[in-house]
Amino acid sequence: MKDKWFTLDVPEMEWDFWESEERAKQEAERIIGVYREEAVDGGWPEEEEFVLWGRVMGWNEKCDIERKSDYEEWPYDSDFDEVYNMKLVEEEA
């Protein structure tokens, strides 16, 4: 994963991912600025922590992938062309 930093706008449930800490922090400040302008009329969002930013420490990725095209007879009772599992991957330091 090349984008190792994130921002989260909690009220909107909008995630964004960034290549640098500086860019993630800038976006968090921008989002807070939007809420600051809206707070004049309606107050701040009720969520205590409504904007988050930080470093991605891990994510999930596909593993144990089996493709229908690799079999003469598909062993699964499924219309899917592929089956797989998921595993958590940690960011290397």
The Cα diameter of the chain in Å comes to 66
Which tens digit of pLDDT belongs to each residue from 39-88? 999 888 887 688 999 999 998 999 999 999 999 898 888 888 999 999 99
Please, which pLDDT band fits residue 1 given cuts at 50, 70 and 90?
A: low
What are the Cα distances from residue 16, in Å, to 7, 23, 76?
5, 10, 36
CA distance 26 to 24: 5
Q: Write down the pLDDT at residue 69.
A: 92
Quote the pTM value.
0.69
